[in-house]
């Protein structure tokens, strides 16, 4: 409060807002360098959105973007290989595992 009596000047930073989310989204897309991986990632996101809408849930409750990215890169085709991906636990394997594995297998078959 002494700066008020002495009439000292102070400097403040201008608030620029949060930019972290934009950088994170770009980072996820940049990790998928192969066009095939990008296409699979898009298909997995679309499948997640379809499930989320039918279950009346936000998409991130099904799987996070990072988890879908890891699926697109690793292309798991069994419950065991799916369980090794971060963000995929036993309950999610039981609920959604077969759906996402079949999506990956269908994508691989179309290549």
The answer to whether residue 28 sits within a structural domain is: no
Residue 65 domain boundaries = 34-111
The answer to whether residue 5 sits within a structural domain is: no
The answer to whether residue 57 sits within a structural domain is: yes
The answer to whether residue 96 sits within a structural domain is: yes
Quote the longest CA-to-CA distance of the chain.
76
Residue keyed to tokens 């609920």: 95
Residue 80: how many CB atoms within 10 A of its CB? 9
Is the pTM above the cut of 0.75?
no
The answer to whether residue 80 sits within a structural domain is: yes
The answer to whether the CB of 83 falls within 8 A of the CB of 71 is: no
The answer to whether the CB of 77 falls within 8 A of the CB of 105 is: yes
Residue keyed to tokens 């990632």: 41
Task: Write out the chain's pLDDT in tens, 111 residues.
Answer: 666 677 777 777 787 776 555 444 445 556 788 899 999 999 999 999 999 999 999 999 999 999 999 999 999 999 999 999 999 999 999 999 999 999 999 998 887
The answer to whether residue 27 sits within a structural domain is: no
The answer to whether residue 15 sits within a structural domain is: no
The answer to whether residue 26 sits within a structural domain is: no
Residue 83: how many CB atoms within 10 A of its CB? 14
- Helix and strand numbers, DSSP H then E, in the chain: 8, 0
* 82: CATH: 1.10.150.80
Count: domains in the chain: 1
Which tokens is 21 given?
């989310």
């Amino acid at each position: 409060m002494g700066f008020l009596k002495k009439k000292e000047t102070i400097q403040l930073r201008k608030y620029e807002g949060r930019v972290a989310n934009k950088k994170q989204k770009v980072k996820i897309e940049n990790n998928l360098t192969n066009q095939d991986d990008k296409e699979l990632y898009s298909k997995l996101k679309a499948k997640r959105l379809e499930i989320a809408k039918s279950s009346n849930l936000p998409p991130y409750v099904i799987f996070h973007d990072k988890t879908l990215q890891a699926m697109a890169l690793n292309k798991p085709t069994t419950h065991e290989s799916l369980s090794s991906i971060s963000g995929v636990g036993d309950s999610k394997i039981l609920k959604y595992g077969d759906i996402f594995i079949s999506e990956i297998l269908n994508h691989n078959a179309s290549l």
